[in-house]
């Protein structure tokens, strides 16, 4: 059963993802645009953390037996790898247009799938799949953390990233490593982060810390200290956690919306197609001068998001869903043949 509050977070997160890429149309170098641009960019970039937190929440549940582990991996292949193959192939055709030949398409698709698409917005999938591969093993540990261990794990992670931010901005590489670096940290705290903010007092403190972290990020941008401010910075992480907890609280109180649940259901496909809508807009919507350029951002988002949702829905229904059902049939047939030969 789907819980609406998580659908609400998922819907907002995918809107943030499309919005941050729509900021391309803002004249960010203009003096009057710079700080509003950086503030919006920082907030919208938290969509990455929101998705990693959600992924950790639902994929770090402890598996009780071998059958549960097998089912976990089957579901990941069916619901994530199969759509990725489909959308990466579509994107390959999109990028190659109109230069098509069988050899070129196959060679480029393999190259894109193995490596090249890790450098575009699809980087998220390359990172997430790695976390999912180890999730069943590490879930045993994370599911049994005490309250103290949860706080300590978060504290160590934020502390490490703070030291990394300071050292890197000073121009020196940090030689000390940490296993749960970057988005792996946010993925693995996703399984328990809500437990740390169960009281109203703790949520109010987090809300205040989130505002202060946004302001701290803007100050650092002012002094051109930009390394990691929108991915591994502890200020960015705390801001994202604050938005995550706030959205969950809001989603729990509000009346469920079919539109929100519809967006959430197709959020994965929206993520995979939205740049194929935004890229052509680069030649249609000009980057205007000064603060009026924010109208270009609003216009791009107003066009890209509904079109991405529509395209995602059509592809899910016409391509992805049939492919997943075919995968189910082929796997069932494989098991039957294996059973007969044993």
Burial label for 145, CB within 10 Å (0-12, 13-18, 19+), is middle
DSSP 197: G
Residues 122/272, Cβ–Cβ less than 8 Å: yes
pLDDT confidence of residue 16: 98
CA distance 81 to 326: 14
Question: Tens of pLDDT along 299-316?
Answer: 999 999 999 999 999 999
Structural tokens at position 225: 């200290």
Could you count the other beta carbons within 10 Å of the beta carbon of residue 86?
18
Coil, strand, or helix at residue 323? helix
pLDDT confidence of residue 290: 87
pLDDT at 324 over 70: yes
pLDDT at 87 over 70: yes
Question: Tens of pLDDT along 139-176?
Answer: 999 999 999 999 999 999 999 999 999 898 888 888 99
Residues 25/287, Cβ–Cβ less than 8 Å: yes
Q: Say which residue, 339 or 210, is predicted with more confidence.
A: 210
Structural tokens at position 328: 């189910």
Cis preceding-peptide flag for 93 (omega within 30 of 0): no
* Nearest alpha carbon to residue 49 among 204, 178, 235: 235
Average pLDDT over residues 172-188: 93
Angle between helices 123-142 and 34-59 (to 10 degrees): 50
DSSP 46-69: HHHHHHHHHHHHHH-SPP-SHHHH
Q: What is the sign of the dihedral through the CA atoms of 248, 148, 231 and 94?
A: negative
pLDDT at 55 over 90: yes
Lowest mean pLDDT among 24-28, 220-224, 294-298: 220-224
Residues 190/53, Cβ–Cβ less than 8 Å: yes
Query: Predicted confidence band at 342 (pLDDT cuts at 50, 70, 90)?
Result: low
Residues 189/245, Cβ–Cβ less than 8 Å: no
CA distance 153 to 237: 14
Query: Predicted confidence band at 1 (pLDDT cuts at 50, 70, 90)?
Result: low
Burial label for 50, CB within 10 Å (0-12, 13-18, 19+), is buried
- Residue 340's H or E segment, with its range, is helix 321-341
pLDDT confidence of residue 64: 87
Q: What is the sign of the dihedral through the CA atoms of 237, 139, 51 and 174?
A: positive
pLDDT confidence of residue 255: 94
Query: Predicted confidence band at 243 (pLDDT cuts at 50, 70, 90)?
Result: very high
What mean pLDDT is reported for the chain? 93
Average pLDDT over residues 200-224: 92
pLDDT confidence of residue 287: 83
Lowest mean pLDDT among 19-23, 130-134, 169-173, 317-321: 169-173
């Amino acid at each position: 059963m789907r819980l609406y509050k998580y659908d609400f977070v998922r819907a907002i997160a995918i809107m943030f993802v499309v919005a941050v890429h729509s900021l391309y149309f803002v004249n960010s170098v203009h003096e009057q645009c710079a700080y509003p641009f950086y503030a919006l960019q920082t907030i919208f970039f938290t969509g990455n953390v929101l998705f990693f937190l959600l992924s950790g929440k639902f994929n770090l549940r402890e598996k009780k037996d071998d059958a549960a582990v097998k089912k976990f991996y089957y579901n990941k292949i069916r619901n994530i790898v199969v759509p990725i193959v489909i959308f990466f192939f579509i994107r390959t055709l999109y990028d190659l247009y109109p230069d098509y030949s069988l050899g070129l398409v196959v060679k480029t698709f393999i190259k894109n799938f193995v490596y090249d698409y890790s450098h575009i917005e699809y980087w998220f999938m390359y990172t997430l799949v790695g976390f999912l591969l180890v999730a069943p093993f590490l879930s045993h540990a994370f599911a049994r953390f005490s309250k103290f261990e949860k706080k300590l794990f978060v504290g160590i992670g934020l502390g490490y990233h703070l030291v990394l931010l300071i050292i890197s901005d000073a121009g020196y590489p940090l030689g000390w490593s940490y296993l749960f670096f970057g988005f792996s940290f946010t993925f693995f705290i996703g399984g328990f982060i809500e437990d740390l903010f169960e009281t109203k007092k703790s949520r109010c403190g987090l809300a205040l810390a989130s505002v202060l972290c946004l302001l701290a990020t803007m100050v650092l941008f002012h002094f051109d200290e930009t390394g990691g401010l929108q991915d591994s910075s502890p200020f960015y992480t705390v801001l994202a956690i604050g938005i995550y907890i706030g959205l969950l609280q809001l989603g729990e109180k509000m009346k469920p919306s079919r539109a929100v649940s519809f967006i959430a259901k197709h959020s994965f496909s929206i993520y995979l197609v939205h740049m194929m809508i935004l890229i052509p807009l680069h030649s249609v919507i000009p980057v205007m001068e000064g603060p009026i350029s924010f109208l270009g951002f609003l216009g791009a988002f107003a066009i890209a998001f509904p079109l991405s949702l529509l395209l995602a829905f059509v592809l899910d229904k016409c391509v992805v869903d049939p492919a997943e059902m075919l995968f189910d049939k082929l796997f069932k047939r494989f098991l039957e043949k294996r059973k007969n030969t044993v």
